[in-house]
């Protein structure tokens, strides 16, 4: 499940055959040449994200949005790296800005849903994943996490629908979730003996 996305931007976006280290050095050099380039900052952030250097990626994305506040991809990826650092409230703040700039990006809503999941807000988790599915109905993980939120809210029937859908789309539910789903579905069943 990606929490950051994007393609390198600009005229020299991506050289073929470059290692992740080469890309980092390239964009660091570009920033020395053009320190006010939001695109170079974004590309450096993406290069750092590719090698899981989240603190460095965060710094680059923050600089990109400082230089160009309307660069939605930088807001999306800033939210993603904050999420990966377990900084959920900050991730939500960046995600909300990204959604204001472009509410049609599934990743924005998915990342916000993940932050809400870890904050224990099932209602917001459901809302975010419903929004993802309005944009991209076959998003396997959004179907699954919608089921997670629905089950947390006590709606086992609808949770089963989305879990089955997620499974058909290739998402593998956790064993813990499957057990919780089974418990929720059988807790309401009363067995009655007939014929005594």
User: pLDDT tens, 88-99?
Assistant: 999 999 999 999
Examine the domain organization and report whether 21 and 85 are in the same domain. yes
Angle, helices 175-187 vs 156-168, to 10°: value is 140
Reported as a single tens digit per residue, the pLDDT across 146-185 is 999 999 999 999 999 999 999 999 999 989 998 888 888 8
Q: Is there a single domain that holds both residue 97 and residue 135?
A: no
Is residue 36 packed enough to be buried (19+ CB in 10 Å), middle (13-18) or exposed (0-12)?
A: exposed
- pTM (2 d.p.): 0.84
Position 31 in a domain: yes
Of the residues 68, 101, 134, which one is the last residue of a structural domain? 101
Residues 75 and 97 sit within 8 Å (Cβ to Cβ): yes
Instruction: Give me the torsion for CA of 162, 166, 167, 170, rounded to 10°.
Output: 170
Could you give the number of structural domains in the chain?
A: 2
- Residue 154, Ramachandran bin (φ over 0: left; ψ between -120 and 50: alpha; else beta): left
- Domain hosting 74: range is 1-101
1 and 86, same domain (yes or no): yes
């Amino acid at each position: 499940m990606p929490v950051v996305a994007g393609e390198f931007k600009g005229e020299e976006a991506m050289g073929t055959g470059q290692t992740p280290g080469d890309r980092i050095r390239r964009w660091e050099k570009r920033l020395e040449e053009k320190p006010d380039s939001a695109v170079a900052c974004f590309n450096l952030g993406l290069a750092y994200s590719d090698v899981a250097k989240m603190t460095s990626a965060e710094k680059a994305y923050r600089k990109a949005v400082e230089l160009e506040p309307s660069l939605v991809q930088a807001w999306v990826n800033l939210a993603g790296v904050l999420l990966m650092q377990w900084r959920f409230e900050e991730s939500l703040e960046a995600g909300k800005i990204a959604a204001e700039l472009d509410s049609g990006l599934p990743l924005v809503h998915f990342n916000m849903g993940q932050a809400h999941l870890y904050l224990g807000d099932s209602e917001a988790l459901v809302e975010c994943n419903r929004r993802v599915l309005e944009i991209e109905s076959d998003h396997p993980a959004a179907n699954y996490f919608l089921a997670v939120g629905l089950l947390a809210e006590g709606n086992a029937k609808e949770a089963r629908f989305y879990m089955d859908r997620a499974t058909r789309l290739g998402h593998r539910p956790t064993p813990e979730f499957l057990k919780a789903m089974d418990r929720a579905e059988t807790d309401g069943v009363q067995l009655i003996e007939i014929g005594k």
